[in-house]
Structure 1
């Protein structure tokens, strides 16, 4: 089956029984404002010319092997229209709309659906008899441009989705990485499972995908190499994962490259054995990249629980402070702990290690009246703070052979030989 391009009325489309919203889709998030905008657009078009054709947008479908059509792009609009039919009592006449609304939804989606259903009812009461005219116009005169891709073209469907939804604005660098690495997966059957995991992280309530890259993976990998990750601008600099750093996560293709440092990964891959994932590992194209993101996300989400289990009263008083001035140093501490656990294991995270990492991370916040992202990056990886040399502790950690080796390399003189009590007293001044 080739890619198909058609135009369908809303009525014809919502009579199709094979429509469904795949589990990798993001939540339904249209609000009352979008509902009102759609309704009055339809009403105005009807009043201007009841015979006119109204182009309502595009729809990207992924035709699956069992005949089902997964909605890759367009679910917000179709669910909203289905809610309109439900509010009017025409729900059962359209099998596609009925199927869409009877799927299992997240709590976020259900909350928005309930609010929008109420909004449709409010609009229906406002317009009185005109409600049926608007509905009929929508079903028979409103068209969608439908792009339907075959079962082996899921990666292409998502690339098309990205281009459709980001026209005129830059894609997020992690969106570019998704498209890049999907193209490197030879077994297309793996794509849907891969995208399900990816989309789960996109809107994760504790750590979403943007923050995973921006505040953790990008910083950890750069700082562990002794690089600040700063982008210079005319006045100052900023610390952010941008397209300029996208090559950090592109990696190599194991089927094409035979470098000695890749031998262990290639041998394991050739024998269908999953290789170990760690935060600073070489980037490998395709499925390995998505495995890296999933494993890294899971480990960083577990970090909060790990710290909760190990924190003493003094540690809790420091890391649980909510003032905004401590957010940057808390990020530095979290990344340092994440790298240590990733390298040496949770069981090696002793109170002594936590104390060292905590004092090192919070030291610049106490010594400076204010710190910026550039201050943080230069302290963490640039080796400079207030014109003095400091330790690049994540790089030291990344080069250490054991927890004890790491502790022996730590130069406590660089942070005034403070202990945890000293740090707490300084914070509470």
Structure 2
């Protein structure tokens, strides 16, 4: 292991994640016969598992027995620590079935004295970390073994106690990694190539986005060619594979392109921006995650959806089996329901992207006639006009309207072949949508100080709006009380509007009550709305 490498830093959780990924890729997620249950990791028929890429450099052109690891230290080290711990526990285990399975799993590795010395470390920090991880895994096994020994009368499964069952499962999973795991390996010849490799990685290496990782995960859940084809078609419709036009081809005849696709020739980054800023945040609201924290990778697990167990015989497996759509061509989704893995995930993000596109256009004020032609219904519902709604407040407003549309969009609009233009047309002519949006915009407008009276009284609650304030005022971290989900807690549009007005009234709105001037400023802004004369804009009050 090269001295200039950063030390080994992976945690026990990082290593366990590899094993969890193996379970997610189990070859038979729903075994129906006893033979299938006996071996959930059917090595002969299992799919290959990609472990990523590693980069090596041959230390000497004359001796190809030793390679310097330039990239891949964390994964290689973690796998060998895990192998060593399992090997140690198997040797102490008296269950012959487990011992035979481990011998079969490690056959290609050769004698343990060989593979236990595959990697050479000199970094003292790496050695210390490896010892810590080894101890953590060993402790977990030893504690489990002690519990099993102390509870010797506990029921056994296939003649195995809980310790033996756990060890056998880990042996199966590691065998799957050894037999079906694949690395993409790059071997460099000299230091010059190594320097070029690292320079290239630094110059062009971009971390995978949350959406990239979700795409890879959910595509792994599908094997049928037809369903994979549907995913490809959805991805294409989302515009996430669109390339930016050259300058000389940017101008085009508007009439030549379908209205719903004209943006592709003007701003191909539009949908990827909407996905990260509004679609994924909207889908994560049910977990109490604020929109500005939504695309953090720690939230990835929430959007992987609900999967069954590895044995396929638990209550959750029965539930999932009966959750299938009657019409897979036109499923509909709800922001309060966890996603379903595979094709339904792509269908769901397409549904909410159409709504996000429509609302983004409706709330956007076009500058030119060409803008209006490119984006049909642009500015048709400027619910925020005349109000100081910008930045995070504008984001909140759009999410609130996405939630409203999720609950009250007219039936028949969100059919499988509809476009965002169809959604925009429906919302543009929906008076209840405009009224709700205008009232929500007024509420957000009151939160920020925008003026002061001659007496020095401020108009608006906060001089500086922090994101934690939004969380408190809108109950973002408490989905069951969140103002964004008011539509979903209402039986009708009128009830929803009534609840919004009641929740945002100066006497009931959630503010930092230990500072009375916040509420006074909010009251002043509220009263100013009623004192001012209503104005008509674009035909809407």
- Structure 1 length normalisation: TM-score? 0.46
> Which has the greater radius of gyration?
2
Higher relative contact order (CA 8 A, sep 6+): 1
Normalized per residue, the structure richer in helix is 1
- TM-score, with normalisation over the residues of structure 2? 0.38
